[in-house]
Amino acid sequence: MTVSDKAEGGRPELIKAVPVRHPGRWVAAAAVAVLAAMLISNLLTSEAYNWSEQWKYFLSPPVLNGVRNTIWLTIAAMIGGIGLGVMLALMRLSSNPLLRGASWLYLWVFRGTPLYTQLLIWGNIGALFPKIGLGIPFGPEFVSFETNALYSAAAAAALGLILNEAAYMAEIVRAGVLAVDPGQQEAAHALGMTSMQTMRRVVLPQAMRVIVPPTGNEAISMLKNTSLVAAIPYLELTFTAQTIYANTYQIIPMLIMACLWYLILSSIMMTGQYYLERHYARGTVGSGGRMGLRARLAARGGGGGQ
Amino acid sequence: MNELMVQSERVCKNFGHVEVLKGIDLEVRNGEVMCIVGPSGSGKSTFLRCINHLEKVNAGRLWVDGHLVGYRQKGDKLYELREREVASKRRDIGMVFQRFNLFPHMTVLENVMEAPMLVKGEPKAEVRGRAEQLLERVGLRAKMNGYPGQLSGGQQQRVAIARALAMQPKLMLFDEPTSALDPELVGEVLDVMRDLARDGMTMIVVTHEMGFAREVGDSLVFMDDGVVVEKGSPREVLGNPQHERTKAFLSKVL
């Protein structure tokens, strides 16, 4: 049959076939519907939630103070963790074996021990280092301070979270740097850029595309991990909820209230993450990274995007 | 100004136990266009990369514009150059890669402007004017606000050439600049290179384009297995190869 033969008959009739049935979907939908109905009925009828008690405390000064502490701890821990993490990653990638070894040791210790235990140690650091001073090891000291005078629960909480987060951020940054095509560094060097210039202008901006999504996840994890600084102890959101229900015995309402606050905060962070990812996708999506969410999802789903 | 842009004396390079260059003697005059051909693995790309110190020479000496590459000589002792010094030597040498290596997170214009501003600290307005002229010259001024990912391979390679030229180099190195391109895009890149040669740029081109070598090249070098097997004018080497290995290679590619 030649092409002209086909054309003669005009456009063929549209196919009207019986679609494949998906009985599994109906079963799953029924199961989900039943579970959802059970949940809703529980939420509406159970006295244990005590919604009015939750609302009473939701915007109360102690809870707002806890929320504020949770927010600043998350921000401080992420900024400090990213800064220290980038440094550790560059040390790990350096050609200096001493720096590489030091970075490796740091990661080994801080990733190999639980955050909760680390926070307990930072809370009791005064017992380990009663005095902090500058001087020659085994020799004379120039200045020294009483640790407990310098140190507050807030500082201990932030320090503990930063030091732990840095270890994880270091690995994320290192993966991002290694993901950049080595040809990029060669091209930058061939143009006369030094290693520092290459890192700052060429490698890190491209590594960001790989670094940002897991960092957003880290930030959201951090929001929740701040609840562990109750170990110090420091009055963040969860610990505040605990102190309230220690008096009122309204355990579940206070914990649910804390969860609602965490959900609000993490939703805000997820929105921020979306815009940040879009910014660092510049040059990789068809229209220079200025596509909307829907267009991006369509491009991804259709396999048309790069 | 030096008569010789590149002077190579018994340059050797090995990666571990593999000897890639086994004593390369070559001279490139100012304004000369030298094409280097040869089978893959013959060391021609490695030699090119040695010229701007992307690879360290293990033995022999290599001079660019009268300066020893990668080292400083005091008496009969060699001192390795610091990274900053190596970087400043590379400013005068442009390099174009097989896989373009444009910076994907910058627009076409930013790609061209980046190095003169960052490395030489030239004022933005001046660099911008020159960048636009260069993009005009390679026929891509209309695309200057696009990103490299939106361009065809041939267009990307032309931007890469403009980016290298923005540093106003004395010497341009081309490492198989058309090997990653679809056949119909090769011509537009060769046109830009031809134009550059006509303007008197000193160029060393590693290539498989024999037509370009014959037409544009002042000299042709055939390398195989880490040595220069034959060199001469393109007409002589391509038309009347003296060496068996050259004949065997040319019979396959011509």
Q: What is the pLDDT of residues B196-214, one digit of tens each?
A: 999 999 999 999 999 999 9
Rounded distance between C-alpha atoms, residue B239 and residue B39, angstroms: 18
Assign B164 to helix, strand or coil: helix
Binary contact (A286, B150; C-beta < 8 A): yes
Cβ of residue B218 closer than 8 Å to a chain A Cβ: no
Is some CB atom of chain A closer than 8 A to the CB atom of B189? Answer: no
B149 contacts on A by Cβ (under 8 Å): 283-284, 286, 306
> Among A216, A294, B76, B30, which residue's Cα sits nearest to residue B68?
B76
Q: Which residues contact A102 (CB under 8 A, 6 or more apart)?
A: A91
Q: What is the per-residue pLDDT for A48?
A: 84
Quote the minimal CA–CA distance from A92 to chain B in Å: 20
Alpha-carbon distance of A103 to A89, in angstroms, equals 8
Token pair for A181: 């095509």
B121 C-beta neighbours (distance < 10 Å), count: 8
pLDDT digits (tens, 9 = 90+) for A2-24: 455 555 568 898 999 998 999 99
- Tokens (6 digits) for A9: 């008959």
Tell me the average pLDDT of chain B.
94
Q: Which residue of A has its CA nearest to B166?
A: A191
C-beta of residue A145 within 8 angstroms of C-beta of residue A225? no
The answer to whether residue A224 neighbours chain B at the CB level (below 8 Å) is no
Cβ A193–B146 below 8 Å, yes or no? no
Task: Give the pLDDT mean for A209-238.
Answer: 91
Q: ipTM of the predicted structure?
A: 0.93
At B112, which amino acid appears? V
Residues in chain B within 8 Å Cβ distance of A195:
83
Residue A145 CA to residue B150 CA, distance in Å, equals 60
Q: For residue A50, is it left (φ>0), alpha (ψ between -120 and 50) or beta?
A: left
Architecture of domain A50-273: Orthogonal Bundle (1.10)
A188 vs B contacts (CB less than 8 Å): 103
Tell me the per-residue pLDDT of A109-168, one tens digit each, with 9 for 90 and over: 999 999 999 999 988 887 777 777 777 777 777 777 776 666 788 888 999 999 999 999
Helix (H, G, I), strand (E, B) or coil at B8: strand
Q: Can you state the percent helix, strand and coil of chain A, rounding each to 5?
A: 75, 5, 20
Calculate the CA A81 to chain-centre distance. 11
Integer Cα distance of B17 and B14 in angstroms: 7
Is B228 within 8 Å of B25 (Cβ atoms)?
yes
Q: Do B90 and A306 touch (CB under 8 A)?
A: no
List of chain A residues whose C-beta atoms are within 8 Å of the C-beta of residue B64:
none
CB contact under 8 A, A186 and B102: no
Query: Is A288 within 8 Å of chain B by CB?
Result: yes
pLDDT attached to residue A1: 47
Position B1 scores a pLDDT of 52
In order of A237, A274, B52, the CA distances from A216 in angstroms are 21, 9, 40
Average pLDDT, chain A: 86
Per residue in B106-124, pLDDT (tens digit) is 999 999 999 999 999 999 9
Report the residue from B83, B106, B149 with minimal CB separation from A306: B149
- CB-closest option in A187, A190, A283 to B149: A283
Q: Is B181 helix (H, G, I), strand (E, B) or coil?
A: coil
Contacts of A283 in chain B (CB under 8 A): 104-107, 147-149
Min CA distance, B198 vs chain A (Å)? 23
Closest of A133, A135, A138, A92 to residue A111, by C-alpha: A92
A193 at B interface, C-beta within 8 A: yes
Q: Which helix (H) or strand (E) holds B22?
A: strand B18-29
CB contact at 8 A, B167 and B85:
no
Task: Name the minimum distance, in Å, from the CA of B84 to any CA of chain A.
Answer: 6
CB A110 within 8 A of CB A195: no
Reported as a single tens digit per residue, the pLDDT across B39-94 is 988 999 999 999 999 999 999 999 999 999 999 989 889 999 999 999 999 999 99
**A-interface mutation test, from B46, B103, B161, most A Cβ less than 10 A away:** B103
